[in-house]
Structure 1
């Protein structure tokens, strides 16, 4: 009987020990699976996916866009009342001066949202400077700095890919004014620039005289059709990120387009 009691006591101790371990394990799992203790960033409303791309690169995570991605010419978009209602709920509103509806955004923002004008230019140095500036505005400077460091690495890789496709040659490129930055992916400066308006007959003659290999046209403001008689391949360059607001993806897609043209 004493032996039986000892066995029962041992079994009870074992069960209690197992329950204690399980309880500790549950506590640890709940802690590790909980949300990270990071400060919530600002609620950002961006006029278009271009500003949204800058915002995401700068570390913003709560981003709403007024102009739907994919709209051919975002600056001419006419915001609906429901679009402007988004502005009223924002902490920060990003816009560009050349956007025709910028005035409506300013009016809708009222006195609560902070309005920040963004310099939209995808030239790498300008992008990095603007991303770091916005990171300072958002309180996400660390994330912005990390993005610019990774961007340098990825851009260098893309540039190597494009210049490799040129096989040591330096292609002659003419470009629409707002996408002239993309010539740097091929390691050159544009031999000629046209726009933002479609080129005149005189400008077409001057550009043709450059004997370009590539014409970089702007997807949002196409004018390259006027250069159809120029013996050069037309590459459509897109400045605007897609649904994911991934600014790096813009460079990848444009680099691939240039590589294909050089192929």
Structure 2
């Protein structure tokens, strides 16, 4: 299917969604408090930003939520929203575009990784739109305080500066925890050079990404390195979802 046909289909879906919304009698005034997020990860950022009720488009149960194919019902959900939060790498954005298919939805694009710097910047960006700055300060402090405490605990255990061979999608938290990300791999298949490096690199940890794990060949040639698999997208949405993910990731360092 060529680009023009894809665009035509996308526009048709959006027009159909708008028509169905009108026929169902939805009124704009009912949507003023509605916030929708593309995935459980962007929803988790909204939670830290102080938003208490967030619709999520891609199911949290998916291994790789960005691949989710949006449906007409999903488009209706977005169109009913006041705010739509997304990262930009989601497949659904090929259909929704930068305005969600309707000018009435405020589109908020954020950066997604679990570093303190990015979580802070993205939460502040969302809160500025939703007016939830007070809640954001409290929830953000909870997140940053945990990262600081975890880093201190890692240092106490003698793991600060431990050499890590890390999936590119997991380097941010590893660095914040005080680990030495000496080399990276992924998201594509590992190369022969990376396998040789894993064998000779003296790594304490090989950290892979559960949403697209490719590091098993590296672990096979580096038996002294602890092979652990971290998560970014929460398996469940709701209060404290991102902090739960980070805590689970940190716990694996005790292997």
TM range (shorter): 0.7 to 0.9
Structure 1 Cα separation of the partners of residues 32 and 103 of structure 2: 20
**Given the superposition, is the C-alpha separation of residues 147 and 236 from structure 1 closer, same or farther in structure 2, using an over 3 Å criterion?**
same
Structure 2 Cα separation of the partners of residues 168 and 197 of structure 1: 28
Please tell me whether residue 148 in structure 1 is matched to residue 140 in structure 2: yes
Aligned partner of residue 62 in structure 1, secondary structure: coil
Larger CA deviation: 104-113 vs 223-232: 104-113
**Structure 2 stretches lacking a partner, 5+ long:** 1-30
**Structure 1 stretches lacking a partner, 5+ long:** 1-39
Q: State the Cα deviation string for residues 163-201 of structure 1 (Å, max 9, x = none).
A: 33x336642111000101232364223011112212211
Q: Name 2:18's counterpart in structure 1.
A: none
Greater Cα radius of gyration, structure 1 or 2: 1
Aligned partner of residue 181 in structure 1, secondary structure: helix
Aligned partner of residue 229 in structure 2, secondary structure: strand
Q: TM-score, normalised by structure 2?
A: 0.79
Structure 2 Cα separation of the partners of residues 169 and 121 of structure 1: 21
Q: Name 2:249's counterpart in structure 1.
A: 254
Q: Name 1:79's counterpart in structure 2.
A: 70
Q: Name 2:155's counterpart in structure 1.
A: 163
Structure 2 Cα separation of the partners of residues 133 and 186 of structure 1: 24
Structure 2 Cα separation of the partners of residues 64 and 141 of structure 1: 20
Aligned partner of residue 191 in structure 1, secondary structure: strand
Structure 2 Cα separation of the partners of residues 243 and 168 of structure 1: 30
* Paired residue total: 220
Q: TM-score, normalised by structure 1?
A: 0.77
Structure 2 Cα separation of the partners of residues 205 and 152 of structure 1: 36
- Measured after TM superposition, the shift of residue 62 of structure 1 is 2.3
Q: Name 1:21's counterpart in structure 2.
A: none
Q: Report if the CA contact (8 A) 1:92-1:116 is conserved.
A: yes
Alignment of 1:136-215 (within 5 A): 136-164=128-156, 166-167=157-158, 170-184=161-175, 186-215=177-206
Please tell me whether residue 42 in structure 1 is matched to residue 42 in structure 2: no
Structure 1 Cα separation of the partners of residues 136 and 122 of structure 2: 10
Q: Name 1:241's counterpart in structure 2.
A: 234
